[in-house]
Structure 1
């Protein structure tokens, strides 16, 4: 039966003893330790009433298997007893020990190698040895006339509450064999304070106008204000970490003179998602492995004034050294609707609109969701965010592009960059962007980039001397690095912990000053 007590009873106990330790009083009165700690802390707030000191206590307890060892002896000592004077084979030892030790779980009992464990330990102790003199099956023989089961004696000390008398190496050995568990508990040592008394007077929380007018406040004690206490957090919404990093990226783009592209088309036609970027029909990203085709939808309505013929036979009639992919373009394939696999489809639409009026240099960016038919794991999702920027200008060179990327990532706090040639179906030349990760001590890929191919730009109607550079990266990877998240599924999706959203701070990228 639990002992019900209050702070007054605790003061009476302290008056009789001068001091006590919370864990010992818990066992004596059969009360919950946390309830006792709560009562002690209610006395701590009264100045000088009690003095408390936190103590750490090592607790060693027997496991179920440890209890069985106390009853039957250790495995090695039982091997010594089973061997006897005549000796015995290893197989017989294994059978007899399994019959002797019966854990609650029969399957676990069959799986546990009691025989090999006991024999190995007995051999280490020098109690038994292997006899192969006859050249037949090895026989286990005794090597000493007498043996003491020291492990059983050590476990008996633990059972008697004297486990703290065991040396640390013995404790480590018993823990390794899962016969004991060791834990550390925190307790409070309580003693009388300079203002100790057993007569408690209720402290008033507020000074009211009635107390002042009547003068009754003079005979009352008031609880002191705790100016270091945390206030109640306001009930308000919180921005997701992805939104915080997204806001930082948008600010950087705006600082560099970019304008934001509309990204409200999650469903895109295959024409703009693939053909508009000069991705031929057999390209891997166009296959069902990466794109998600939509069923039961009407064919997309394509703009007839776009040059379909130039898309079917790119640049055949133009002055160009490139022959493009020369794939067999099919209208029915171009009209299929898909969930967009990249925001480059948005860039293609905007470049087409840019070509419909007298050309003006343009810098545009977008940050929004894209969809891939991917296998989900710690670093891949079927739905994620892509950050993309494009720059259209006359006589744009690769050196300009590298300078642009360097400036963008410098503003993101990343200065140590490398560019590696790669292949993209709609850019040439193409480059992967790597940054040195100080924590991992290696170069990691952070983005992809390149110059859009003329086969993509000229059919849109852009002048031949106009070049367009583009680069992209995911929003999730820098967010995971910024907030120390190792599994992308903990960042985005239906299984995220809302506490993670609440506690993560505002994102401030370490932007380098100009």
Structure 2
């Protein structure tokens, strides 16, 4: 190599340090140059491309504290925590001793483990079913050993070397976990040494834009060239809307809680949207759902047996002449409970949980709480022993999964559930919003769906 090589001032400092040390880790190099390691990667890549150095990647084990380990470092190992309250809690049966220790703030799992270590070391003993201090000297030994382990673990995670026995012990006690850490080292190559000693390495200021005022002095600068061989990054042409991401999150929560998703049509029969839910055709309750009716002569197809059962239940329960023709008219689905009803009719009695999350349509006035088209999360829990308490518990677990804290319930009314409930959550700007209407499907509904003898907790969140 007998031609001059131009590098930036920063790259020149890298080369000078590398020539001196011959080999250096990137972390050490960054420290020597008072910069961040990530700020060196581009310069190292350019120098490696010029054949002046070699960057090598290697892996080393790294020991880090687990969540349990962090708790032990802060509060002490379980035996230390438990021993702190021995004098206050001893002299009682084991279960009462553990309860006493827990009342002082020790986790139940830590209390149990700590007691095991203290008994195993003969610090504590059991006589006539009651705990007592067996040997104070042994207690001191086990506590000193615990403190020593804590200090050695701190030394380990800070990078110091300790014995493999202590490392194995810390792993067994779930104080640490070992991961692989990727490191990089930079090695000098012979061509760089030759060029350096021959005085061929020169530094110039790097510029990326040639301005008119320096056009006559370009020899003073190192001009960064465009690399047209570099592939352009892929730019996503679209991404999912935040609301749809939220819908997916709801779906994942329901599946994680053991529910199976079911689907239904947007254009629905009045039978599934109203009648099978025991909403009388001539009752004012039918007006609860303002509905989009289809202007068409087409009608739905429903099993005649289901129509016969619905006619008998409606006429017996409401005392009017039920019209199958009206039940077969088509509407835009106004509630996803129609999908739940279809699912129960198809599956019949049994023990299962299903949900659906999809669009509904109502002629609403658009505001912060209402829309003509909206999503609803509807579901049912079916079984012989399902109760209203199961429904309330589901609401609480579901809101907890969403990170909601302020929630309250009040009695509600819906034509197809009894008892019924309305659940509210607190919005920071809109105030209390009803989002959890639900209840237990009435026996009449379960009969029309072919699930007599079973109970169903149902809801329509929207």
| TM norm structure 1 | 0.44
**Which protein has the larger Cα radius of gyration, Structure 1 or Structure 2?**
1
Greater helix content: 2
